[in-house]
Amino acid sequence: MNKYWSRRLAGLVPYTPGEQPRDGVFIKLNTNENPYPPSPRAIAAMKDSADADLRLYPDPTCRDLRAALSDFYRVTPEEVFAGNGSDEVLAFAFPAFFDPARPILFADITYSFYPVYANFFGIAYKTLPLDAGFGLPVDAFCQKSGGVLLANPNAPTGKAVTLSDIEKILAADSERVVIVDEAYVDFGAESAVPLIRKYSNLLVVQTLSKSRALAGLRVGYALGDRGLIRALETVKNAFNSYTIDRTAQRCAAEAIRDTAYFCEICENVAKTRDKTAKRLKDMGFRVLDSKANFLFISHERKHAKALLRALRAAGILVRWFDHPRIDNFLRVTIGSPAEMDAFCEKIEAFVR
Ligand SMILES: *Cc1c(COP(=O)(O)O)cnc(C)c1O
């Protein structure tokens, strides 16, 4: 910081992204990327769009991408908003739906970007503790508030809640918006998208970064009542009208249309996850029930910090969070079967 920084910036604690090492010697199980390549059709579409038309601005309304999303989710294009990663969609949602003086609610253990956005946009918030088994305190989320933010499945626990719990929270107070961040939903949880017509206070946010193997593309989207979508469009057009470039719009639309490929890689990841979970349990790990593309694990004898260091020395990156309730846990992204074999062999040697 120096004397030129604004006062708002001086007090800000930013989000810390997981490490992206510059050499390729690590097995990367630390940022929940997909081990499979993106849809070949999506890559072809992107290459095809790298032409002289790049001199032109992209479609600010992302019409074709929104058409692909509206077909896939069986909603209208007016119920779809597209952004530069779901992080951007979430960032737009804060000024769109929340007011500074009315505290919003999120869990004490959840995506660590939520408090960063709240502080950045000056929105007050209250964190509600997950129960001892890291379950969501559904009744506490039903209290009156300025808004609700839930990740389902949650990060970094991987635990999912049922649609009936989400409905309970939605119905408890129709005056505030409930954002359900479904970054990991395609790996085995139930999506709240079918509820958007029933609850005009529901915004579902998803991303192409995890289940569609396109973290490098930076495309995310939101589905909800037209009134909510119009609010996001208004914030976007007060900030940057062209958030998604021409090539990314083409690539993303094709990725959404390639349903067969998407289903195949999601199934593979889920299978590898369940196999890995079983192996870890046999080694004495506590493994939370995950519906995501990662496992949240803790060992009865070996401390997570020690395992983190030992794995790193062995060329394997996983994620550790400096938070008192979870500082004896590691979050392990599900990689390819070969990567998970290597991970299991190493970690078994350390805990034996
Ligand atoms: C990865 C992740 C995101 C952000 O995804 P991008 O679309 O890559 O910005 C949002 N929410 C949660 C819970 C995530 O884990």
Domain match, 252 and 280 both: no
pLDDT value of residue 2: 85
Of the three residues 223, 258, 293, the one that is the final residue of a domain is 258
Exposure string (b/e) for 312-328, b if CB count within 10 Å is 16 or more?
eebebbbbbbeeeebeb
Residues of the chain with pLDDT under 70: none
Of the three residues 239, 258, 277, the one that is the final residue of a domain is 258
Question: Does the reported pTM lie above 0.85?
Answer: yes
Q: Are 196 and 125 within one domain? A: yes
The answer, yes or no, to whether any atom of ligand 1 lies below 6 A from the CB of 220, is yes
pLDDT of residue 85: 98
Please state, in angstroms and rounded to a whole number, the distance separating the CA atoms of residues 47 and 27.
28
- Please say whether the beta carbons of 244 and 83 come within 8 A: yes
**What is the C-alpha to C-alpha distance for residues 262 and 275, in angstroms, rounded to an integer?**
20
Whether 111 lines ligand 1, by a CB cut-off of 6 Å, is yes
User: Quick count: other Cβ atoms within 10 Å of Cβ 151?
Assistant: 28
Mark whether 194 and 131 lie in a shared domain: yes
Radius of gyration of the chain from its Cα atoms, rounded to whole angstroms: 20
3-state secondary structure of 206: strand
pLDDT at 199: 98
User: What's the confidence (pLDDT) of residue 13?
Assistant: 84
Domain match, 178 and 252 both:
yes
pLDDT of residue 8: 83
On whether residue 1 sits in a domain, the answer given is no
- Taking CA atoms only, the protein residue closest to ligand 1 atom 12 is 183
Do 253 and 145 fall into the same domain?
Answer: yes
From the CB of 181, is ligand 1 less than 6 Å away? Answer: yes
Q: Is the CB–ligand 1 distance for residue 85 below 6 Å?
A: yes
> Per-residue b/e over 76-98, b at no fewer than 16 CB within 10 Å?
ebebbbbbbbbbbbbbbbbbbbb
Nearest to 222 by CA among 314, 42, 97: 97
d(CA 86, ligand 1 centre) in Å: 6
* Domain-embedded: residue 283: yes
- Tell me the CA distances in angstroms from 81 to 31, 90, 177, 232, 348, one per residue in order: 25, 11, 16, 7, 45
Residue 209 structural domain: 40-258
Choose one of 191, 225, 258: the last residue of a domain: 258
